[in-house]
Amino acid sequence: MQTASQRLSVTEKVGYSLGDCAANFIFQTVMMFLMFFYTDVMGISPVIAGMIFLITRIFDAVNDPMMGAISDRTNTRWGKFRPWVLGSAVPFGVIGVLMFTNPNLSAWGKIIYAFVTYNLMMMIYTVNNVPYCALTGVVTGNNAERTSLASYRFMLAMIASFVVQSFSIPLVNYLGVDNKSIVQATVQADQLIVAPENSGLARIIVHAHDGKGNVTKKEFFTKVTKPIPESPGLKAPLADLALEKSFGEHEIDLTPVFDAGAYGPVVYSVTVQDPGVAKAQIAGNRLKLIEAGVGVTNITLTAKDRLKSTANEQFSLAVKVPGDSVPVVKSKPEITLNKGFGEKEINVGELFSDADGDALAYKVEADSGALFSTKIENGRLALIERQRLFRFLDGLIQRISTHVPGTGDDRLTVTADDGKGGQSSLLIPVTVRTSRNMAPAMMRPLPAETLSSESKPISVDLSQYFEDPDKDSITYSASVINQSKGYQRTMMIFCSLAVVFFVITFATTRERVKPDPKQKMSLKQDVSDLIHNSAWISLFFLTVFIFVYLSLRGAVTLYYFTYYVGRADLFSLFNMLGMGVTLGAILLAKPLSMRFGKRNTFMVCLFLTAVFATAYLFVPPNAIALIFVLQVLVSGCYAPTIPTLWAMMADVADYTEWKTGRRATGITFSATTFGLKMGLSLGGALTGWLLAYFGYIANQEQTEFALKGIRMMVSIIPAVPFFLGVGMLFLYKINKQTEIQMTSELMERRKHFKYD
């Protein structure tokens, strides 16, 4: 018999919630790390990885509604939905480990392996998660208890998310320590010796010690390939080119520039930064430059093989007036400033000279611009110290990251132009320091290396990459992380916990809300009820938009810290802060929903999250405090929507029953979880395609365009679907008053149901 109250014990709420905790051990790793694992560990191109995410969803288009219909028609002594949670537990864990295993296969073999394991994971996720989600609608019919259950559920889900996002990379680093499998790295004085052992990808972490307790940790990737290269590569870099005006056309043979790899031939493409200087065309294997004007421009070449893997090369083209002399660099200063310097002026005219006496025009660009702004007037360059907004966080940031806010290194590129195509550039290193002893600084990024398994050891002179602002003597140490091994062993831990938690969910829950026994099961009628339910349609598209945001932004955050911020060590801390805030703010879901209704709460929280996410577009890489402040705001605003979304799904199932007299909990939830996975797939595909569009190449220093793209992918691009989601909520008809009326009438109806 169904009771009027159907209140749930704390044991049942926690037991049920452990199921979502288990699912999130997989869900979060897929969302946060799988794209990175495919591109940077397995070596799959972003375009192919994006296609794997998208094609898999075609199968889910059938699987989700089918699973919903099957579970609705399941009748056992344990209920309709609980048996599926139990039966899928072990396959869920096994396939989760296989998905993060990097087999020793060819490029095509790895693509097929990734496709098969990801498809299997999504299939078992459907078998497990559709019935699990439907349980929300049948363990109780009490609306307040559902909201409470959703809060418990997502509190534990957030704990799992906290563990995955905060400890995955530290676990990968700890469990993946391996100085034998792929490369051996040793330090001799200032020399780092890297000896290849077997094919694979290793992350080498270099520690620079100043002997006074300060340590700078930087990392770079070393890829060891089989003797036959599998991807296109650069054989002979092109030198910068200088031509005189009226050159007409100039051709370059690209055959000796690129190695086509094992999956050639390659197809070339070219982009010109300033078409006003020259235009470019590709004709077969030749690059044709066509005169357009005078000046200097960058030209980027891309070679793409049959697997869509690419190699890039960039060179500069200077076109000048015949007989014109190029400005000459007279001096190369290095600038060291103390924190609090305010403003510093440099006479740029003293840095360049022009033999023709041409008047020179100057421009300046800073690599990051986080420490100071720049302006040039009348031949004088001014460096203006930036006023920081969050000084109160300086102490915290300094303790957690060993970095003194407002200090660091930057580089200025000053360019002198004589207006006749003659141009020279000067690179000026700038250090802003403090009076306390500082850690060693990195002058430029350590180079990513690609070696053959048969190559001889290489030597990297670390003194060319590190210097100490206080002139302290630096000693070095190095460690090697086998990422494949680290990810696989980390997933073994997460998946083992998931299996245990699913069993607990089965053992501690009961199904209480049952359809009218007189109701006849009709899949056609179930689908008809859904498509005529405007609330379900709104919620379906809202779910798609939300998980496009989560998938896209979640996947690219690791790229953001690795390549844009240049502080991959802060990634786990960033996630830890966000999840900590989320765990606290998620408790606001119930009181806000009770006070304002689920729809209004969702709408406001979603809008504010999108606004604060967009703000990342304007954050420079060195503004660590601002990055963390925005994480607090984004996480705090988004948190109340998490349990609210799933409580709204149960409301939609009730709404259908209220309007039609028929209840189909399984297919209602399955159709909505299909929207969830559609959002994940679109977000995953967009991540791969956008990375490829912006010219991202794994495990090397990224171009300015690629870094801009990564910045956009954590800000304005994922914010767009959230703004669209706000619009969908205006079409969602179940407001607070409707919830109260609907719940009251349904509970009255159910009193009169008679069961055998």
Q: What is the pLDDT of residues 65-98, one digit of tens each?
A: 777 677 767 677 787 888 888 989 999 999 999 9
Separation between Cα atoms, residue 404 and residue 408, nearest integer Å: 8
> pLDDT band at residue 742, thresholds of 50, 70 and 90?
confident
Q: Are 169 and 453 in contact (CB under 8 A)?
A: no
* Cα pseudo-dihedral 19, 582, 542, 605, rounded to 10: 150
pLDDT above 70: residue 200: yes
Percent of the chain with pLDDT over 70: 85
Average pLDDT over residues 9-32: 90
Q: What is the pLDDT of residue 2?
A: 45
Q: Which of 326-335, 494-503, 607-616, 671-680 has the lowest mean pLDDT?
A: 671-680
**DSSP-derived pairing of the beta strands 191-196 and 183-188:** antiparallel
On the question of pLDDT at 628 being above 50, the answer is: yes
- When pLDDT is averaged across residues 517-534 and rounded to a whole number, the result is 59
Number of Cβ within 10 Å of residue 232's Cβ equals: 25
- Identify the sign of the CA torsion 332, 338, 339, 342: negative
Amino acid 396: pLDDT: 54
Residue listed under structure tokens 């999130």 = 24
Beta strand 310-320 with 241-244: parallel, antiparallel or unpaired? parallel
Helix (H) or strand (E) holding 544: helix 534-559
CA distances from 9 to 45, 140, 144, 509 (A): 49, 11, 14, 10
Q: Say which amino acid occupies 684.
A: G
143 vs 715: which has the higher pLDDT: 715
Which pLDDT score, from 0 to 100, does residue 105 have?
86
Mean pLDDT of the chain: 83
Tell me the per-residue pLDDT of 667-714, one tens digit each, with 9 for 90 and over.
566 666 677 778 888 888 899 899 988 888 877 778 888 899 999 999
Q: What pLDDT, in 10s, does the model give residues 294-341?
A: 888 989 999 998 877 788 898 989 888 887 777 888 888 888 888 888
Residue 597: predicted pLDDT: 83
Distances in whole angstroms, Cα of residue 670 to Cα of each of 61, 505, 666, 725? 10, 19, 6, 20
**Average pLDDT estimate for 652-678:** 66
Between 330 and 522, the higher pLDDT residue: 330
pLDDT one-digit tens code per residue, 534-567: 777 888 888 899 999 998 998 899 899 988 887 7
Phi-psi domain of 374 (left: phi exceeds 0; alpha: psi -120 through 50; beta: other): beta
pLDDT at 140 over 50: yes
- Give the dihedral of Cα atoms 605, 610, 613, 617; nearest 10 deg: -160
Return the closest-CA partner of residue 707 out of 562, 591, 573: 562
Q: Which of 155-159, 332-336, 381-385, 619-623 has the highest mean pLDDT?
A: 381-385
**Ramachandran assignment for 49, one of left (phi > 0), alpha (psi -120 to 50 degrees), beta (any other):** alpha
Handedness of CA 135, 137, 139, 144 (dihedral sign): positive
Instruction: Write down the pLDDT at residue 755.
Output: 44
Least confident of 453-467, 568-582, 641-655, 690-704: 641-655
**pLDDT tens digits, 243-274:** 988 899 999 999 999 988 878 889 999 999 88
439 close to 173: Cβ distance less than 8 angstroms: no
**CATH numbers and ranges of domains, the chain:** 10-176+483-514+521-750 (1.20.1250.20), 328-434 (2.60.40.10)
Mean pLDDT confidence for 286-290: 95
Among 439-443, 481-485, 547-551, which stretch is predicted with the lowest mean pLDDT?
439-443
Written as six digits, the tokens of 641 are: 């929507």
Greatest Cα pair distance in the chain: 103
Residue bearing the bigger pLDDT, 186 or 61: 186
Is residue 519's pLDDT more than 70? no
Check: CB of residue 394 under 8 Å from CB of residue 406: yes
Is the pLDDT at 188 greater than 80, yes or no?
Answer: yes
pLDDT at position 526: 60
CA distances from 541 to 154, 643, 653, 671, 728 (A): 21, 17, 16, 11, 7
Q: Measuring CA to CA, which residue among 414, 418, 422, 417 is closest to residue 351? A: 414
Choose the weakest-confidence range: 208-222, 339-353, 527-541, 589-603.
527-541
Q: Is the pLDDT of residue 523 over 80?
A: no
Pairwise CA distance, residues 136 & 513, whole Å = 10
Span 395-410, pLDDT tens digits: 555 555 555 667 777 8
Distance in angstroms (rounded) separating the CA atoms of residues 631 and 5: 40
What does the pLDDT read at residue 4? 44
Q: Which residue has the higher pLDDT, 187 or 328?
A: 187
Q: How many residues does the chain have?
A: 756
pLDDT at 321: 85
Asked if 170 contacts 572 with a C-beta cutoff of 8 angstroms, the reply is yes
pLDDT band for position 1 (cuts 50, 70, 90): very low
- State mean pLDDT over 476-500: 92
pLDDT band at 152 (very low <50, low <70, confident <90, very high): confident
Which residue matches tokens 């604060």?
612
The residue assigned the tokens 């000896």 is 195
Cα–Cα distance for residue pair 354/639, rounded to 1 Å = 60
Left if phi > 0, otherwise alpha if psi is -120 to 50, otherwise beta: which for 403?
A: beta
Residue found by looking up tokens 């997502």 in the block: 154
The angle subtended at Cα 291 by Cα 286 and Cα 297, nearest 5°, is: 85
Q: What pLDDT is attached to residue 54?
A: 83
Q: Is the pTM of this model over 0.75?
A: no
